[in-house]
Amino acid sequence: MAMEAPLKVALGTLAFVVFWILAVFPAVPCLPIGRTAGSLLGALLMVIFRVISPEEAYSAIDLPILGLLFGTMVVSVFLEKADMFKYLGHLLSWKSRGGKDLLLRICLVSAIASALFTNDTCCVVLTEFILNVARKNNLPPKPFLLALASSSNIGSAATPIGNPQNLVIALQSGMSFVEFVSGIVVAMLVGVLVNAAILLCYFWRLLSADKDEDVDSAAAVAAEVDVNLHRFSPATMSHLNSKNSQASASDASAQSSISGAANLRCRTSSADGGVTDTAMAPDPSRDGICVSGDDGASTTWRTQFGMFITVNGFNKTGIPSALWEFVEPYAQIDTVGGVALLSLVILLLSNIASNVPTVLLLGARVAASAAIVSLAEEMRAWLILAWVSTVAGNLSLLGSAANLIVCEQARKAKSFGYNLSFLGHLVFGIPSTLIVTAIGLVFVRS
């Protein structure tokens, strides 16, 4: 793709920078409008600046990918009604031997769950529960939130339904489900273990702080209450048990001195990204479901529409394409140096222009270049693209929607909220992403 006129390149870059800043720093003093409004503003600027037309903006919204994500959310609701996530929560807390053991369990469980139900769904389900477990055991939440987000991203690389970019790759490459999984699953398992080891190295002393060896029976009962409360609402995807709302509220009230969950409340986002609490008032027409809530999943859904348009506009400036054309002669799939350079380009573009547009931009070109060598190398090129673009989501807080879901839900958890900052994530994300990506590449096979 040729570069556009200098004015259009400048205006498109400006619109993308506005979107990027508001996505990373949603409460900037000059424009505290939040991530969702920031994403829509970036999309609006792309149209106003005539970087793309309104028709192009509409066509940029990838409805099949959004349909896949919506479908997995619906499936998750029905699985939740079958109490699958209740048992998943028990698996994390059953006979826990302390912070290090809990961290390892979160890494493994979230990785496997994200491969089956997408990383976004996994983070929606587990974030608040993990915060509850950490609070009740007097453990710092940061290691476990990072473990959830990073392991969910890595685990989602293993299947075509793990994340949107994998779906795109599976469709464009023509690979079967079995071919895709067999090519990446070993890299995924090794990557999860390496990522867990890095987390333990970072937070070993923090997780070794003195605490009670056992959780007393009262706290165990409170944890049980939290597991029962951790349910999807079909209307808002919030985690309230519509079937047992009265009983759960009664149990929580009885344990108020322990769990701090005496009064269940729904949180709604204000325009400035703040959180306003309102007492839970079940809607009779919805069988006791609170309909005023909001959470990271719904925020991410609204953000995705603007993000598709904004990123498409930035791609039309020709800047990402020019970068690839510059490095393509040196990024051949049949050399170690070529694979390393290709991986670096994918990492950078995935964090600048998002992983799905990166796959759409580079997929056909990378595959065509690798096909010159052999058909097996072509398939391997697709798998490398899937692996690197997915793990790239761990580099920064903006790298994947799963990161934003964990961040938003942790921040909005009123009684035990935690703000996972951009820089706080980056300090762990850069070394983890580079190490896990490099080691995983050794195990990616066509």
Q: What is the CA radius of gyration of the chain?
A: 22
Can you tell me whether residue 123 is helix, strand or coil? helix
Instruction: Pull the structure tokens for residue 357.
Output: 């547009």
What per-residue confidence (pLDDT) applies to 10?
92
**Distance separating alpha carbons of residues 311 and 165, to the nearest angstrom:** 14
Q: For residues 405 and 296, is the Cβ–Cβ distance under 8 A?
A: yes
Residue 412 belongs to some domain of the structure:
yes
What per-residue confidence (pLDDT) applies to 24?
67
What per-residue confidence (pLDDT) applies to 408?
81
Q: Could you identify the residue written with the tokens 């600048």?
A: 352
The conformation of residue 416, written as its DSSP 8-state character, comes to G
If you average pLDDT over residues 367-372, what whole number do you get? 88
- Residue 247 in this model has a pLDDT that exceeds 70: no
Q: What is the pTM of this model?
A: 0.70
Q: Could you identify the residue written with the tokens 């701090």?
A: 260
Q: What's the domain range around 141?
A: 63-208+318-445
Residue 97 belongs to some domain of the structure:
yes
- Residue 117 in this model has a pLDDT that exceeds 50: yes
Residue 229 belongs to some domain of the structure:
no
The conformation of residue 415, written as its DSSP 8-state character, comes to G
pLDDT digits (tens, 9 = 90+) for 415-438: 566 777 788 888 999 999 999 999
Evaluated on CA atoms 234, 236, 240, 246, the torsion sign reads negative
**Distance separating alpha carbons of residues 79 and 236, to the nearest angstrom:** 16
How does the average pLDDT of the chain come out, rounded? 75
- Of 249 and 166, the structure prediction assigns the larger pLDDT to 166
**How many beta carbons lie within 10 A of that of residue 197, not counting itself?**
14
Q: How far is CA 88 from each of CA 80, 82, 92, 116, rounded to the nearest angstrom?
A: 10, 12, 7, 13
pLDDT digits (tens, 9 = 90+) for 32-64: 777 778 888 889 999 999 999 999 888 888 777
Amino acid at 255: Q
**Distance separating alpha carbons of residues 114 and 118, to the nearest angstrom:** 4
- Residue 194 in this model has a pLDDT that exceeds 80: yes
- Residue 353 in this model has a pLDDT that exceeds 80: no
CB within 8 Å of 172: residues ≥ 6 apart: 363, 364, 367, 382
If you average pLDDT over residues 198-227, what whole number do you get? 60
Residue 235 belongs to some domain of the structure:
no
Residue 74 belongs to some domain of the structure:
yes
Instruction: Pull the structure tokens for residue 233.
Output: 């609402």
Q: For residues 89 and 50, is the Cβ–Cβ distance under 8 A?
A: no
CB within 8 Å of 256: residues ≥ 6 apart: 262
**Distance separating alpha carbons of residues 308 and 293, to the nearest angstrom:** 25
Q: Is 176 exposed, middle or buried (0-12, 13-18, 19+ CB in 10 A)?
A: exposed
What per-residue confidence (pLDDT) applies to 320?
76
What per-residue confidence (pLDDT) applies to 301?
54
Residue 228 belongs to some domain of the structure:
no
What per-residue confidence (pLDDT) applies to 147?
94
Instruction: Pull the structure tokens for residue 249.
Output: 């509220």
What per-residue confidence (pLDDT) applies to 108?
93
Amino acid at 49: F
- Residue 217 in this model has a pLDDT that exceeds 50: no
Q: Could you identify the residue written with the tokens 């800043």?
A: 21
Q: How many domains does the chain have?
A: 1
Angle at 44 between CA 38 and CA 45, to 5 degrees: 90
Can you tell me whether residue 262 is helix, strand or coil? coil
**How many beta carbons lie within 10 A of that of residue 269, not counting itself?**
18
Q: For residues 120 and 402, is the Cβ–Cβ distance under 8 A?
A: yes
Residue 303 belongs to some domain of the structure:
no
- Of 232 and 419, the structure prediction assigns the larger pLDDT to 419
Q: Is 287 left (phi over 0), alpha (psi -120 to 50) or beta?
A: left
| Of the candidates 383, 382, 386, 353, the residue with the CA atom closest to the CA atom of residue 1 | 353
pLDDT digits (tens, 9 = 90+) for 145-183: 999 999 999 999 999 988 888 988 988 898 999 999 999
Can you tell me whether residue 283 is helix, strand or coil? strand
What per-residue confidence (pLDDT) applies to 379?
94
Residue 150 belongs to some domain of the structure:
yes
- Of 101 and 415, the structure prediction assigns the larger pLDDT to 101
